[in-house]
Structure 1
Amino acid sequence: MILKKIYAWSIHLFTALGAVLGVLAIIYSIQAAQANILDNSINYSYYLKLSLYCVIIAIIIDAVDGTLARTVDIKKLAPFDGALLDNIIDFTTYSIVPCIWIYVSGIVSENWLIPSIILITISSAYQFCQPNAKTDDNFFVGFPSYWNIIVMLMLCFQTNQVINQAIILILSIFSFIPIKYIYLSRLDNISKSKVVKFITLTYSIIASSITVIAVYLFPEKTPDEFLFIIITFIIFYIIFSFKLNIKPIK
C-alpha cells in the first residue's frame, strides 16, 4: 500500500513538472525578447528554441500523466486535485506561453498584436472553464486551445502575418461554437474500426514528430514537404471531427 501511495503521489509530481516547464518557457521567451532588442539574432533563436522545447516536453507530460493516473485509484491513494493542477498547467503552456511567443516573435502585425493576445486568452479562459469542455465519450467541445502547437507551427513554417491573423481569429471564434473535436490521446470512440483508430493514431504521431523536427530546425524554415503533411493532417482532423458531429458512432 505504501508503494502504491508513493507511486500515486509521484504521478502528481510528474504532472507538476509541467508547471516548471511552463515557467522556464516564459523565462526563455523573456531572454529571447531581450536578445531581440539587442539585435542579437543568434541568442534570440537560441532562447526561443529553448522555450519551444520546454513546451514540447510539457505536452508529452500532459499526454501521458492521465494514462499513468488511471493505472491506480489515484483519488484514494493521493487525495489531491490532479485535474485542477492539470488545468492550471495546461492554461499556462497551451495559452499563456503562446501569447508571449506572439509578442516576442512578430508573427502577427503590430496592429494585431494585442487583439491576437486578447482573442487567445479570452477564448482559452472560456474553454478551460466550460463544464462540458470534455465529453464523457472523450471529445473536446469547441476548439481545444491547441495554441501552443498552432503558434509553434507559425514560427517554424514562417507563415504570412495575414494568414496567422486569420487563423487566430477563426480558431478563437470556433472556441465558442459547440462542435466536438477528436481528443487525440483518447481515440476509443472515434470509430468501431481498429484500422481507423490505428490510422488516426499513426497520422497524429507522424504530425507530432514533424512538429518536433520543425522546432529542431528552427530558425531555419521547415521544408514545404513537412508543411504539406501537417496541413493534410489538420484537414483530416477537422473533417473527421465534423463527420463525427454529423454522424456519431453508436
Structure 2
Amino acid sequence: MALKATAGRSVDGSYGIGRRLSAWGVHAFTASGVVLGLLALLAAVGGDAKACLGWLGLALVVDGVDGTLARRASVKEVLPGIDGSVLDLVIDYLTYVVVPAVFLYRFGLFPTGFGIPLAAWVLMTSLYCFSNTGMKSGDNYFVGFPAIWNVVALYLWILDLDPWINTAVVLVLGVLTFSTVKFLHPFRVRKMMHLNIAVSAAWLASSAALVVLHPDRPDVAWAVWLASGVYYVAVCAWRTLRGDARG
C-alpha cells in the first residue's frame, strides 16, 4: 500500500520544513522571555522600577500566549527532542521569581535588615512550586500559590504598603505554596475562559497605566485594577471551597 503525506508530514512520517520552522519559531518566541527577564533584572539593579515592571509585563504576555501557539503548532510532535515545558519553567523561574525577588529587595519593600532573608524565602518556596508534579488540578487550576511573584511585586509597589505588611503578605503566600488552595490560570481553565481572558486583559491594561503614571492613580485605571483583582480572588475562593474536581 502506498504511503500518503498527511498533516504536513512527508511520506516517511517526518514533518516538512514549514512545520518545523513554525515549531522552532514558537520555541524562539518562548525563549525571548529570558531576554526580557535580563532587561528587567538590569532595570531593577539600575534602580528603574517602572522599566523593570514593564519588561516583566512583556514577559508575562509572552508566557500567557506561547502555550496556545505551541499547541497550534504541535511543537511536541514536530520537535520531540525539545521539551517546551522545561524551557518554559526555566524562563518562568527567572521572570516570575528571581527578578521579582531582586525587585522587592532593591526597592525597599521589605523592612531594613530583612531584605535578603525574605528574598531567599521567595526563591526557596518557589522551588517547590516549580518542581511539584501536582501543581495543576484536573481542571487546570494551580494547586497552591503558583509563585507569581511578579504580580505580587507589582501590587506591593503600587499599593505602597508598610514594609511589615509586605512581609506578612510574602510569608503567607510562601506558606500557601504548600497548600491546596486553588489559583486561576486564565488561559487554561475552560470554565468561563472568555470572561477570564477579558478580565486578564483589563487587568494588564490597567496595570500598565498605573505603572506608567505612577505615583498618580487615574480613577478609571485604579477602579479596573482593583475590580479585576477582586474577581481573581473571588474565583480562586469559589474554586477552593468547591473542593477537588476532575478534568
Scaled to the shorter chain, the TM-score interval is 0.7 to 0.9
1:130 aligns with 2:127: no
Contact residue 36 and residue 59 of structure 2 kept, 8 A: yes
| 2:75 pairs with 1:74 | yes
1:210–1:226 Cα contact (<8 Å) kept: yes
2:45 pairs with one of 19, 22, 30: 30
Instruction: Tell me the CA shift for residue 235 of structure 1.
Output: 3.2
In structure 2, relative to structure 1, the CA distance for the partners of 1:224 and 1:197 (3 Å cut) is same
Partner of 1:154: 156
State the AA in 2 paired with 1:213.
Answer: A
Q: Hey, what does 1:100 align to over in structure 2? A: 102
Partner residue in 2 for 1:222: 217
Task: Report the counterpart of residue 51 of structure 2 in structure 1.
Answer: 50
Q: Secondary structure at the match of 2:73?
A: coil
Preserved CA contact (<8 Å) 2:203 2:229: no
Counterpart CA distance in 1 for 2:116 and 2:222 is 27
Amino acid across the alignment from 1:230? W
Instruction: Pick the aligned partner of 1:121 from 99, 120, 123.
Output: 123
Q: Which has the higher helix share?
A: 1
- Contact between 1:158 and 1:221, CA under 8 Å: does it hold in 2? no
Deviation of 1:183 after TM superposition, in Å, equals 0.7
SS in structure 2 opposite 1:71?
A: helix
Flag the structure with larger Rg.
Answer: 2
Residue 207 of structure 1 corresponds to 203
CA distance in 2, matches of 1:157, 1:221: 11
RMSD of aligned residue pairs (Cα, Å): 2.0
**For each residue in 1:170-189, what CA deviation from the matched residue of structure 2 results, as whole angstroms up to 9, or x when unmatched?**
1111111122221111230x
1:138-149 alignment runs, 5 A limit: 138-149=140-151
Taking CA–CA contacts closer than 8 Å with sequence separation of 6 or more, which of the two structures ends up with the larger relative contact order?
1
Deviation string for 1:119-170 (max 9, x for gaps)?
Answer: 2111111100100112342110101111101111222332222221121111
Deviation, 1:227, is 4.4
Q: What is the distance in 1 between the residues matched to 2:222 and 2:119?
A: 25
**Distance (Å, rounded) in 2 between the aligned partners of 1:64 and 1:201:** 11
**Using a 3 Å threshold, how does the CA distance of structure 1 residues 90 and 28 change in structure 2: closer, same or farther?**
same
Q: TM-score, normalised by structure 1?
A: 0.84
Query: Does the CA-based 8 Å contact 1:157-1:222 persist in structure 2?
Result: no
Paired-residue identity, %: 29
Indicate the residue corresponding to 2:229 in structure 1: 234
Map of 2:65 onto structure 1:
64
Which residues of structure 1 form unaligned runs of 5+? 33-46, 191-195
Q: Where does the alignment leave 5 or more consecutive residues of structure 2 unmatched? A: 1-15
Q: For the structure 1 residues 199 and 10, does the alpha-carbon distance in structure 2 shift closer, same or farther, using more than 3 Å as the test?
A: closer
Distance in 2, matches of 1:129 and 1:61, equals 22
Aligned to 2:8: none
What are the Cα deviations for residues 39-85 of structure 1, in whole angstroms up to 9, with x where unaligned?
xxxxxxxx332222111111110001000000122122223111101
SS at match of 2:109: coil
1:221-247 Cα deviation digits (max 9, x unpaired)? 434764454344333322322322332
